[in-house]
Amino acid sequence: MRLLNRVSQWLDARLQLREPVTKVLEHPIPRKSASWFYVFGSAALTIFMLQVVTGVLLALLYVPSAADAWNGLQSMNHQVAAGWFIRALHGWGSNFMLAVVVIHMVQVFLFGAYKFPRELTWILGVFLLLVTLGMAFTGQVLRFDQDAYWGLGIGASISSRIPGVGGALVKLLLGGPIIAGATLSRFFALHVFVVPGLLIGFVALHLLLVIKLGINDWPMPGRVVRRSTYLQEYKELTHRDGMPFVPAGVGKDIIFSGAILLAIVACAFFLGPFGPGGQPDPTIIQTAPRPDFFFLWLYALLSFLPPAYETPFLLIGPAIGLIVLLVLPFVAGEGEKSWKRRPIAVLMVMLLAGVFGSLTQLGLHTPWSPVMDAWSGEPIPANFLVHRTPLERQGALVFQAKQCHTCHALEDRGGQRGPPLDAVAVRLTPDQLIRQVIQGGGNMPAYGKSLSPAETTALVAFMGTLHPLGQAPARDASQTVLYGKEP
């Protein structure tokens, strides 16, 4: 023990770190800020450290080569002792990190922590969100499978739309004219060197500011932030009702970080690693690429935007979002901190949660995608076929053979790209059906060139039977007036 003491004294005589470190650890925090709401930042840091450690472990074996990366990941999963577990930890750690970072940001926003004098802390936090997303995207590419390959194609297609520099940007992104070996190499460099470097730098500054400026005080309705008085008020608060961060304030942080780590371990152990999915061979086209969870909202958005708005939205939308986030602490740098007095802030969070949540939910189900095998895999329900004429049944065959089922559902089975056709005869007269089938329109392709007149007749006869029992099919009233009878 005495030897240990002497060694530490010898070291500190040279490093002189004991005093500044003690000062940092014992910096005063307001008593109420030692709250369960204030644990997300430290949890994000803990997960980041887990990511660094597991990332280094993965880098020991990862082969950044388009020819071998996929095989390397397979052997990591199956040949290396605990290889699958380290991969799973890194993958689940990534999801947890993004989730905790987003929750941290929402909490900071609702507790007014971005206000004076913590504007720069917030701005660095916005950068941290961006680089964390950057880590997630580049990491998804390193799991070099079909989703990664086609995800790069999507990234390149989006970048190409930037006027003027789009073409050059695609080549810079891919490291050449196509997605190939050079692409994976540069994403490896980004994921392992460049983005983590930025992340570490931003985290260091972010933490420095938290210590220099003090943790945000617990927002009290009526305690208004003013630039002229806040610093003095905060100082008084920490003296009057404060305590040292270590050991008094750190307990909840440690407990929550430990719980999050255990949750990641549990997910990794029970749910296993992410992929790799199919081989990144572009000639295998039987694939439906899908991004990772945190990019699903974007994937959904890209299918719902009207084509003409897509490019401006993609290019201008993120810029506006970023500017709003960066400008926020300057526009609303003073005033109430408590969410109880900031209804618009609360509504904004609810609105954004609703929007991103709904888009993510849609991204999981992709109702806009044709169900490519519905025409051969989903039979027409039998009750649509009994008591039908031969012509109508022939029409049902056309319905399957021409893949109508791929986009249209019957009894909730089949594609959801177009409207369900269970009751289409109530909505459209036979003439309207013929027109719709032959000319298309309203996002439906025209089938005039793919259907013979006989096939069209049969198909429309079948669709004429698609109406609920007791509800008459639509009819053209003018026909009765003109000819005195139904056609």
Partner 1 sequence: MSLSSPVTRRGAFVKLGLLLNGLAGAFLAVPVFRYLLSPTTREPEGADRWISLGAALQFPIGETRLASFRNPVVGPNDGPTANLPCWVRRIDQDRFQVFAINCAHLGCPVRWFPQSNLFMCPCHGGAYYADGSRASGPPERGLFEYPWRLDRQELWVQAKEMPTPGALAAAAGARKPSCAS
b/e code 417-455 from CB counts within 10 Å (16+ = b): bbebbbebbeebbbeebbbbbbeeeeebeebeeebeeeb
When the beta carbons of 130 and 315 are compared against partner 1, the nearer one is: 315
Q: What is the dihedral of CA 80, 262, 133, 124, to 10 degrees?
A: -130
Tell me how far, at minimum, the Cβ of 312 lies from partner 1, in Å.
12
When the beta carbons of 61 and 99 are compared against partner 1, the nearer one is: 61
When the beta carbons of 129 and 179 are compared against partner 1, the nearer one is: 179
Residue 37 vs residues 33, 181, 344, 465: alpha-carbon distances, Å: 8, 45, 21, 60
Enumerate the β-bridge partners of residue 28. Answer: 244
Any residues with CB less than 8 A from the CB of 171 and at least 6 apart, and which? 177
Q: How many CB atoms sit inside 10 A of residue 130's CB?
A: 17
Tell me how far, at minimum, the Cβ of 201 lies from partner 1, in Å.
20
Tell me how far, at minimum, the Cβ of 218 lies from partner 1, in Å.
46
Residue 215 vs residues 239, 260, 266, 395, 407: alpha-carbon distances, Å: 14, 22, 31, 71, 54
When the beta carbons of 80 and 446 are compared against partner 1, the nearer one is: 446
Tell me how far, at minimum, the Cβ of 172 lies from partner 1, in Å.
6
When the beta carbons of 437 and 466 are compared against partner 1, the nearer one is: 437
Given CA atoms 202, 203, 207, 208 in this order, what sign does their dihedral have? negative
CB 96 within 8 A of CB 40: no
Tell me how far, at minimum, the Cβ of 198 lies from partner 1, in Å.
17
Q: What is the DSSP letter of 340?
A: G
When the beta carbons of 381 and 440 are compared against partner 1, the nearer one is: 440
When the beta carbons of 248 and 298 are compared against partner 1, the nearer one is: 298
b/e code 295-324 from CB counts within 10 Å (16+ = b): bbbbbbbbeeeeeeebbeebeeeeeeeeee
Tell me how far, at minimum, the Cβ of 326 lies from partner 1, in Å.
27
Tell me how far, at minimum, the Cβ of 297 lies from partner 1, in Å.
14
With H, G, I as helix, E, B as strand and everything else as coil, classify residue 471: coil
When the beta carbons of 40 and 399 are compared against partner 1, the nearer one is: 399
Cα–Cα dist 206/212, whole Å = 10
When the beta carbons of 68 and 334 are compared against partner 1, the nearer one is: 68
Tell me how far, at minimum, the Cβ of 423 lies from partner 1, in Å.
22
Tell me how far, at minimum, the Cβ of 331 lies from partner 1, in Å.
34
Any residues with CB less than 8 A from the CB of 458 and at least 6 apart, and which? 391, 392, 394, 395, 397, 398
When the beta carbons of 47 and 374 are compared against partner 1, the nearer one is: 374
- CA-wise closest residue to 42 among 254, 262, 263: 254
Give the distance, in angstroms, between the CA of residue 151 and the centroid of all CA atoms in the same chain. Answer: 13
Tell me how far, at minimum, the Cβ of 161 lies from partner 1, in Å.
4
Tell me how far, at minimum, the Cβ of 132 lies from partner 1, in Å.
23
Q: Using the structure block, give the residue that is written with the tokens 């070996």.
A: 181
Enumerate the β-bridge partners of residue 336. Answer: 224
Tell me how far, at minimum, the Cβ of 377 lies from partner 1, in Å.
13
Cα–Cα dist 467/204, whole Å = 66
Given CA atoms 50, 199, 356, 163 in this order, what sign does their dihedral have? negative
Note if the bond before 430 is cis, omega within 30 degrees: no
- CA-wise closest residue to 295 among 107, 122, 95, 146: 95
When the beta carbons of 64 and 242 are compared against partner 1, the nearer one is: 64
When the beta carbons of 121 and 146 are compared against partner 1, the nearer one is: 146
CB 463 within 8 A of CB 421: yes
